[in-house]
């Protein structure tokens, strides 16, 4: 029985690789893609999602655009990481097909409502669309089969010392999301920094032909810097969140209470994680089976690559 996934994302190098996994795994049915402003502006994340949909050939999966910026703050992007367009050096053909015209939050509500308990919601960008959806319809917290995010950390951040980018970009939205009536699975930096596309991984990916040459390797190496001490390749953060839904056996996750710092001068966007709680609201991923993860991801990518060059 396939896992139905609705992916809310801000492509984004690793979001694009996550989309590729969700599309390519035969055990995943991708039921929709929603976009949010984050790594780059909404118009670019949406354009990237539309272009990827046609390039990867899943034209029937609806794409809906959502929030251009955070609930209350000024937008702050990560174009310095993902390139000004969001996909690094990758340039894809213009898309012919358009977005649904429905706001991402309404698309999420409508889609989850149709088949309660069946669709796994995954968010790999700032949590603005999910927060708006929860405010418009709190019952989505019951209708989602599960809710998994890439975001946060229980040690240190990457946007600031304290905060991971997706939470830092919209802490008020993250607070609404973690305080809602569901259990959030948090795939944070402590987990995703175990998933580096290092030299050995890239060498294997390079064997996959034109899809690897045109898309996978450029996305996975855009800020690869082999001259940095201790550098072990780019982490494919968002891929881990999709992988968790289809292959939870590759992850260790523990119940925890996660609260979002929204006010701290130095700590806004921090995920305050308490593993010793009696009131858990989350499952926090701690350990990845790294070899198993790459074997899974590479097998899915190989499958899509074979179809792509057929
Ligand atoms: C997260 O931030 C974004 O830049 C990436 O796409 C990922 O979702 C990592 O902190
Ligand atoms: Ca992302």
- Prior bond of 160 cis (ω within 30°): no
Q: What is the pLDDT of residue 1?
A: 62
SS3 label, residue 117? coil
101-139 pLDDT, tens digit per residue, is: 999 999 999 999 999 999 999 999 999 999 999 999 999
Residue 109 near ligand 1, beta carbon < 6 Å? no
190-230 pLDDT, tens digit per residue, is: 999 999 999 999 999 999 999 999 999 999 999 877 677 67
> What band does 152 get if pLDDT is binned at 50, 70 and 90?
very high
The CA-atom distances, in angstroms, between 252 and each of 110, 248, 270, 283 are: 32, 8, 22, 10
Name the residue of 37, 75, 124 whose CB sits within 8 Å of the most ligand 1 atoms, as the mutation to test its pocket. 124
Closest atom of ligand 1 to 15 CA is 6
Residue 50 near ligand 1, beta carbon < 6 Å? no
**CATH classification at residue 142:** 3.90.245.10
Closest atom of ligand 1 to 39 CA is 4
Residue 237 near ligand 1, beta carbon < 6 Å? yes
237 counts as catalytic: yes
Separation of CA 45 and ligand 2 centre (Å): 10
Separation of CA 14 and ligand 1 centre (Å): 7
Say if CB 68 and CB 75 are below 8 A apart.
yes
Q: What is the pLDDT of residue 223?
A: 87
Q: Which helix (H) or strand (E) holds 63?
A: strand 63-65
Which amino acid residue places its CA nearest to atom 2 of ligand 1? 165
- Please provide the DSSP assignment of 230-243 as one string: T---EE-HHHHHHH
> What band does 262 get if pLDDT is binned at 50, 70 and 90?
very high
Residue 170 near ligand 1, beta carbon < 6 Å? no
The ligand minimizing its distance to the Cα of 163 is 1
Name the residue of 7, 35, 49, 78 whose CB sits within 8 Å of the most ligand 1 atoms, as the mutation to test its pocket. 78
Q: What is the pLDDT of residue 209?
A: 96
Closest atom of ligand 1 to 12 CA is 6
Q: What is the pLDDT of residue 96?
A: 98
Residue 238 near ligand 1, beta carbon < 6 Å? yes
Pairing mode of beta strands 63-65, 119-123? unpaired
Residue 48 near ligand 1, beta carbon < 6 Å? no
Q: What is the pLDDT of residue 309?
A: 85
Among the listed residues 131, 152, 144, the one whose alpha carbon sits nearest the alpha carbon of residue 31: 144
Residue 47 near ligand 1, beta carbon < 6 Å? no
The domain total for the chain is 1
Name the residue of 11, 38, 243 whose CB sits within 8 Å of the most ligand 1 atoms, as the mutation to test its pocket. 38
Domain coverage including residue 58 = 3-309
Q: How many CA atoms within 13 Å lie on the side-chain side of 200?
A: 7
- Average pLDDT value over all residues in the chain: 96
Q: Is the pLDDT of residue 231 over 80?
A: no
Q: What is the pLDDT of residue 242?
A: 98
């Amino acid at each position: 029985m396939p896992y139905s996934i609705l992916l809310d994302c801000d492509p984004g190098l690793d979001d694009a690789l996550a989309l590729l996994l969700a599309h390519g795994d035969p055990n995943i049915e991708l039921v929709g893609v929603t976009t949010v402003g984050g790594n780059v502006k909404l118009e670019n994340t949406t354009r990237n999602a539309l272009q990827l949909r046609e390039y990867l050939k899943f034209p029937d999966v609806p794409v809906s655009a959502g929030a251009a910026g955070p609930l209350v703050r000024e937008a702050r992007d990560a174009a310095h990481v993902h390139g000004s367009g969001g996909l690094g050096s990758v340039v894809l053909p213009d898309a012919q097909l358009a977005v649904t015209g429905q706001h991402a939050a309404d698309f999420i509500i409508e889609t989850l409502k149709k088949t309660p308990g069946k669709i796994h919601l995954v968010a790999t960008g700032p949590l603005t669309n999910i927060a708006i959806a929860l405010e418009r319809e709190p019952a989505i917290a019951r209708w989602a089969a599960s809710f998994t995010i890439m975001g946060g950390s229980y040690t240190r951040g990457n946007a600031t010392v304290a905060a991971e980018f997706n939470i830092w970009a919209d802490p008020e939205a993250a607070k609404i999301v973690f305080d809602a009536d569901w259990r959030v699975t948090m795939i944070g930096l402590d987990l995703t920094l175990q998933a580096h596309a290092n030299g050995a991984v890239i060498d294997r990916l390079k064997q996959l032909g034109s899809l690897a040459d045109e898309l996978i390797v450029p996305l996975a190496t855009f800020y690869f810097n082999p001259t940095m001490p201790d550098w072990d390749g780019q982490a494919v953060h968002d891929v881990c969140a999709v992988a968790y839904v289809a292959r939870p056996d590759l992850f260790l996750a523990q119940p925890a209470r996660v609260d979002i710092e929204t006010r701290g001068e130095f700590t806004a966007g921090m995920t305050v994680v308490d593993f010793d709680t009696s009131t858990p609201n989350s499952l926090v991923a701690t350990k990845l089976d790294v070899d198993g993860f790459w074997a899974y991801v590479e097998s899915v990518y190989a499958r899509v690559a074979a179809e792509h060059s057929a």
